[in-house]
Structure 1
């Protein structure tokens, strides 16, 4: 009986500075697919040089792009990855064991994420479980504008070794994502019929701070834990403020093609799934 095979799907745009390291971290896979959304910085060439199978495409949205990758996959299993994520040797061994001796149709992987250069242990950031490894014939993706995620038609289980996630590189990145994430979350909320108000924006922002910093012990990460709690509070506050203003017709509801950021159509694709 032949061993099960693994395909990795990476959606990327203008990631030449980090795509090679991402591809090399999954060199244990049988197939590594990079879906390059017409990058202008040589991402496709760098990815090919690192050993990936590259397909240059348009940008239909994160979920539809991942479904393209799944359709191109030849492996029995599919691992979804972002350009700012890395698979450690320990996780690679665990993934191989999981697909060779499966106890589920899909596996959630924890993530260990950095914030402005410091890895965060608390505040709800660890463990940050996300479904990433699924039998190909049972894999799907949601169509959320913000944070689209993988789905599985079947049983789930969890792995233990984390994905290393180099998120929020510096303060400029934090401020840029605050704007875009709050806008994307407001757009999803508007389309789902959520209501917003100034009172809800204030209350939800305060609750996000208390949940991150106190209940989830973000204070244990020191000064950066405080910065993260304030960031979460601001993102939540501006989400509901934007939603209220959309409903009051004081801010236009974004009418952009699928996959675009409401403020920046050239946002990197991994920004849609933080």
Structure 2
């Protein structure tokens, strides 16, 4: 009989996170790691947990994760990012659920996002359900064919019924401000490429000010005030403030990329 559960993870220089992630899935029958030529101890850590490690050049998030899934042999696949871990309660629920021949073909996990070490409970950041547990033959990751290097927002398409588990997947997203700002700078550049592909380059004076000034302001107001982000303390303020800056950056970068500099 095939193993019950395979865990699929993609990595690139994740020595600070991977041990925590793998410890949380030590009950799995198989762990598959697709590594993109890490230069730190990522591979050593993966092998110390008994993972099967494959070296593959970077193909984009969706393609890389599909490659990991294709190498899994379990009836069920749990797809995780290297900075995520199962809470103890979620570990117990999954271990109890899978041998019972559950009725659903795919399960959403409620994701608990941590920012500067604090659980962000408001402002749209929780429960942040992600479809991560599924029958191996039922699902695969998809993303825009134009942008296979998208840093986030690859999605899972699947056939069959779905449900949501009761407990949390813990996401150690941004432990430092430097890490968060670096990511938002990079993500805003890729977000700008998507805006350009969709023709949203703020060509007119009104569109420019709307997208670069008003949309970020409204994003902050909506998430921080109306969605109660202020209840998450100083960390919530910083998260929503800098997220609104990211929104402004991506529109500004889309405009700047598509407008040749004027002569002096």
Fold-level similarity (TM above 0.5): yes
CA–CA distance in structure 1, aligned partners of residues 167 and 53 of structure 2: 28
CA–CA distance in structure 2, aligned partners of residues 227 and 62 of structure 1: 28
SS of the residue 1:110 aligns to:
strand
Pick one of 200, 213, 230 that aligns with 1:194: 200
Mean CA deviation greater in 144-153 or 121-130: 144-153
Shift of 1:3: 9.1
Equivalent pairs counted in the alignment come to 249
Per the alignment, residue 167 of structure 2 pairs with 161
Q: Give the alignment of 1:77-226 within 5 angstroms.
A: 77-99=76-98, 100-144=100-144, 145-147=150-152, 148-196=154-202, 197-199=207-209, 200-226=211-237
- TM norm structure 2: 0.88
The one-character-per-residue Cα deviations of 1:20-51 (angstroms, maximum 9, x if unpaired) are 22111101111111111111112111110122
CA–CA distance in structure 2, aligned partners of residues 109 and 140 of structure 1: 16
The one-character-per-residue Cα deviations of 1:199-239 (angstroms, maximum 9, x if unpaired) are 22212101110121011100101111111110111011111
| 8 Å Cα contact 1:106/1:156 also seen in 2 | yes
| 8 Å Cα contact 1:106/1:134 also seen in 2 | yes
Per the alignment, residue 263 of structure 1 pairs with none
What stretches of structure 2 of length at least 5 have no aligned partner? 145-149
The one-character-per-residue Cα deviations of 1:40-64 (angstroms, maximum 9, x if unpaired) are 1121111101221111211111110
Q: Which has the larger radius of gyration?
A: 2
SS of the residue 1:146 aligns to:
coil
Shift of 1:249: 4.4
Taking structure 1 as reference, are residues 4 and 37 closer, same or farther at Cα in structure 2, changes over 3 Å only? closer
Q: What is the Cα-based RMSD across aligned positions, in Å?
A: 1.8
CA–CA distance in structure 2, aligned partners of residues 22 and 193 of structure 1: 40
The one-character-per-residue Cα deviations of 1:163-208 (angstroms, maximum 9, x if unpaired) are 1111111111121012011112122232234343422221210111
- TM norm structure 1: 0.85
Larger strand proportion, structure 1 or 2?
2
Q: Give the alignment of 1:1-80 within 5 angstroms.
A: 5-80=4-79
Pick one of 247, 252, 259 that aligns with 1:241: 252
